[in-house]
Structure 1
Amino acid sequence: MIIKKMQTILIKPDNIEQLLNSYKFDLIFSTNEIFSDSVESRYLGREKLAVRIDKFHPLASQKTVTFKELRGLSFLVANDIGTWKDIIQDYIPKAKFLYQENLAALSELTQYSSFPVFRTNLSSIHINDDKNDGRCLIPISDEEATVEVYACYLKNNRHDLQVIFDKVSEVFSKNLPN
């Protein structure tokens, strides 16, 4: 199987089965496990949320933080973060989220401010701006700060997707960088 095109769009869980059955997508990543006559899911791993916080902030010396400890802070956040958007809004009391549509603008704001930002074990792999931004990466210890991720696909495509499953599972196995 040759990957023709990869898209990064948010899809509602209720639409996954229909989109796969209509052959609009070969593979969709989801936090929901789906099994039907034609569609199945494969567990890939856990995505874990962390916060990058200014090294002079009182929480920066902790090994982990809880959502409750992040209460009332203001965060820079990418707008399209899927399930994480609901989680941070639901579990961080009185927080302010400064959502950014444009990732280049978010990167610029992150570089020139001390607002905390969120990362996961997946997003941290691809973001090079973090190394010298004066922030410490601290995992969030609440159970809700971890989501299980599944690959959803048509059963008859399972064999063709095996190489992708192996590569993605390898990425999930990596821990949050320091």
Structure 2
Amino acid sequence: MNTDQVRHFVAVARTGSVTAAAREQHISQPALSRSIQHLEEDLGVSLFDRGKNSLALNRVGRELLPHAEELLAAERRMRQSSLDASRRERVLRVGTIAPAPLWYLTSLIVERMPGALVSSEMVGDEADAERALFDSLIDLAICTREASGMRSVLLMRESLYLSAPKDHPLAQRESVSFEDLDGETFLLFGGIGFWGDMHRRTTPHAHMVVQEDREVWRQLMRTTRMLGFSSDAPVLVRPDVAGAGASDDDQVERVFVPIRDPEAHATFYLCVREDAYADGGLVRSVIDLVEGLGEGVPGVRA
């Protein structure tokens, strides 16, 4: 007995017709009839009362039909579970407190692990990330500290710079502090994670013009004379100096000034539960990949 025979039996019982069941199952009528006969032989019973031009479930067939439907339902559940497991093996759920380390991690996975996919979400802070890891809502977390009781590996380092028009007074400095920037007006991209809270904390009197659309923000940074922020993250081409979409006459020439405060420099770790790492699979492969970079981690030798 196999599931195809059971499926053919249920189809005939449901439609009441070999012709209709064969059409539904995309097989010939003779092949479907033979499948039913083989099932009856395997079970040692007859399932239908057969007339000259009719086929109807007999008493045994009616008793076995619910079991056949339950078997097919179990098969569907098994196939769905298999599909879900396969997707989990190929899809990494990553929670991050900042965008650049996520973009860097994604670029590594795309380059080194073809076929793997990354599903990401921005989390509020390290506590949220660690809680999501603990509750198995995510597979990996990107934090600015090593997660307590979990496996953590260095992912990258990132430093912020002031992005200022070339003729702005602050552009003449060798470095600046957040105290120097407090009270100024900035064009800020909204999707920067924990960096946004850092800006609000370190420059409480600054006026932040927040743009949520990244492409609009990129274009404005090419043409506006407002101050902004840039990053040395290796996955970023500084969008505020790229020329696409703006003519030479319209584009503002910018200078990038280091920000010397400790808050402007972040070290990011990739964190995972120890039991998830021990289970192997894609999660372990990613952790081992990042850990194996050693001195190749961006910012380590900066």
TM-score, normalization: structure 1? Answer: 0.81
Q: Percent identity?
A: 24
Which residue number corresponds to residue 88 of structure 1?
199
Which residue number corresponds to residue 148 of structure 1?
267
* Residue segments in structure 2 that go unaligned for 5+ positions in a row: 1-89, 91-112, 244-251, 278-282
Higher relative contact order (CA 8 A, sep 6+): 1
Alpha-carbon distance in 1 for matches of 2:129, 2:235: 26
Q: In structure 2, which of residues 172, 175, 184 is the aligned counterpart of residue 73 of structure 1?
A: 184
2:157 pairs with 1:46: yes
2:136 pairs with 1:17: no
The structure that has the greater radius of gyration is 2
Q: Which amino acid aligns with 1:88?
A: H
Relative to total residues, which structure has the larger strand share, 1 or 2?
A: 1
Which residue number corresponds to residue 214 of structure 2?
103
Matched positions, count: 173
Alpha-carbon distance in 2 for matches of 1:50, 1:61: 13
Q: Where in structure 1 do 4 or more consecutive aligned residues deviate above 6 Å?
A: none
Deviation at 1:169?
5.4
**Residues 176 and 259 in structure 2, CA contact (< 8 A), matched pair in contact too:** yes
Distance 1:136 1:167, change over 3 A: farther
**Residues 65 and 140 in structure 1, CA contact (< 8 A), matched pair in contact too:** yes
Alignment deviations for residues 27-79 of structure 1 (CA, whole Å, 9 cap, x no partner): 2211132122xx22223343211111010011112221111111321111111
* Residue segments in structure 1 that go unaligned for 5+ positions in a row: none
Relative to total residues, which structure has the larger helix share, 1 or 2?
A: 2
Alpha-carbon distance in 2 for matches of 1:167, 1:103: 32
Q: Which amino acid aligns with 1:77?
A: L
Q: In structure 1, which of residues 55, 75, 84 is the aligned counterpart of residue 166 of structure 2?
A: 55
**Residues 185 and 207 in structure 2, CA contact (< 8 A), matched pair in contact too:** yes
**Residues 44 and 150 in structure 1, CA contact (< 8 A), matched pair in contact too:** yes
